Amino acid sequence: MSELELLDRIARTSVRRAGTVLGVGDDAAVLEGAPAIVVTTDLLVEDVHFRRAHCTLRDIGHKAVAVSLSDLAAMGAAPRALFVGLAAPAGALDTAGHDELRAGMDALAAAHGATIAGGDLTRGPALMLAVTAVGTLDDPSDAVTRAGAHPGDVLAVTGPLGGAVAGRALADDPDLAGRVPDAAALRAADSRPQPRVSAGRRLATAGAHAMLDCSDGLLLDADRLARASGVRVVVDLDAVPLAAGVAAVADALGREADLMAATGGEDFELIVALDEGGLARARAAGVGLHVVGSIEAGADGLRLRRHGRPVAPPRELGWAHDV
């Protein structure tokens, strides 16, 4: 069973009980409270989400926190605390290794005003980190979900895409890395992604109708937004902003740069649907937005265009794995 099939099954069979405003099916859950509590959790596993040969322990700690903070950003929430579960094989981490891992986590947590407030340690077959992030909203109704996009909205992203997938390709092929001027920045995009926490809060204030993070790829996540909102999302591949160096990597790999950037995932930019007024307010608030498509009536998911003409979607819309 694929990850997406299992997630869909869990969402369809989950029961939301008293005290939970928003449960399974979005970037984070929202719980009643004053302020409202926003909670998300993510699990990173060695050789599934990262490879020790390609990144430092500080990188791994940073990324584990970034993934969960990005989910809070997608809801428009302010981070407050993080809880970290760590498993590792016996002898895999010495004291210096634990310190490096924790330094990566704490530096990013501190940058966003969050405290690493607890967690758990155990032995396991591989290095694994489970991070639960807790944030707040003034009111539960302030949460920006995936389900609010309206026909007539524009679809936008907060930054260039494709850096992470290109960075992974460079890690796999050091010879290619030597031929790409932007190799260091692309590797950093993969190993140390930056969650758009401030942008998420400003987008919520600007009146964003729907939002989620671009963790699994623009096309896959835009399709999720479309289905959650009951609308059609049209993505203009010509408008997909490419991180510097992505086109060179795509050309070397014999891939179309726009599709590589739109399906690669792990960029952790935000995907947002908002009307023209919200777009203007967000830009006035300093949020850099790239319009990549539009929202139309019609509950039939994702459509693609290139040079103004319809394009058949690729077989794989984004990053997913079997579970």
User: What CATH number should be reported for the domain holding residue 118?
Assistant: 3.30.1330.10
Domain assignment of residue 319, yes or no: no
Q: Which pLDDT score is estimated for 181?
A: 87
First to last CA, the chain: 6
Question: What gap in Å lies between CA 186 and CA 189, rounded to an integer?
Answer: 5
Domain assignment of residue 147, yes or no: no
242, 310 contact by CB (below 8 A): no
Domain assignment of residue 304, yes or no: yes
Q: Which pLDDT score is estimated for 323?
A: 52
Domain assignment of residue 317, yes or no: no
Strands 301-306, 232-236: pairing is parallel
253 shares a domain with 109: no
Question: Helix (H, G, I), strand (E, B), or coil: what is residue 126?
Answer: coil
Read off the amino acid at residue 133: A
Burial of 103 (0-12, 13-18, 19+ CB in 10 A): middle
Looking up residue 247, the CATH number of its domain turns out to be 3.90.650.10
Whole-structure pTM value = 0.94
189 shares a domain with 306: yes
The DSSP result for 137-178, as a single string, is ESSGGG---SS---TT-EEEESS-B-HHHHHHHHHH-HHHHT
- Report which of 151, 120, 22, 119 is spatially closest to residue 77, judged by C-alpha positions: 22
Domain assignment of residue 266, yes or no: yes
Q: Which residues span the domain enclosing 270?
A: 154-311
Q: What is the pLDDT along the chain (323 residues), one digit of tens a residue?
A: 666 677 677 777 777 788 999 998 899 999 999 999 999 999 999 988 888 888 999 999 999 999 999 999 999 999 999 999 999 999 999 999 999 999 999 999 999 999 999 999 999 999 999 999 999 999 999 999 999 999 999 999 999 999 999 999 999 998 898 889 899 999 999 999 999 999 999 999 999 999 999 999 999 999 999 999 999 999 999 999 999 999 999 999 999 999 999 999 999 999 999 999 999 999 999 999 999 999 999 988 999 999 999 999 998 898 765 55
Domain boundary pick from 87, 117, 142: 142
237 shares a domain with 271: yes
Please tell me the total count of domains within the chain: 2
Domain boundary pick from 122, 142, 162: 142
162 shares a domain with 38: no
Domain assignment of residue 322, yes or no: no
205 shares a domain with 254: yes
Distances (CA, A) of 169 to 96, 98, 318: 29, 28, 16
- Report which of 198, 205, 111 is spatially closest to residue 158, judged by C-alpha positions: 198
Domain assignment of residue 13, yes or no: yes
222 shares a domain with 127: no
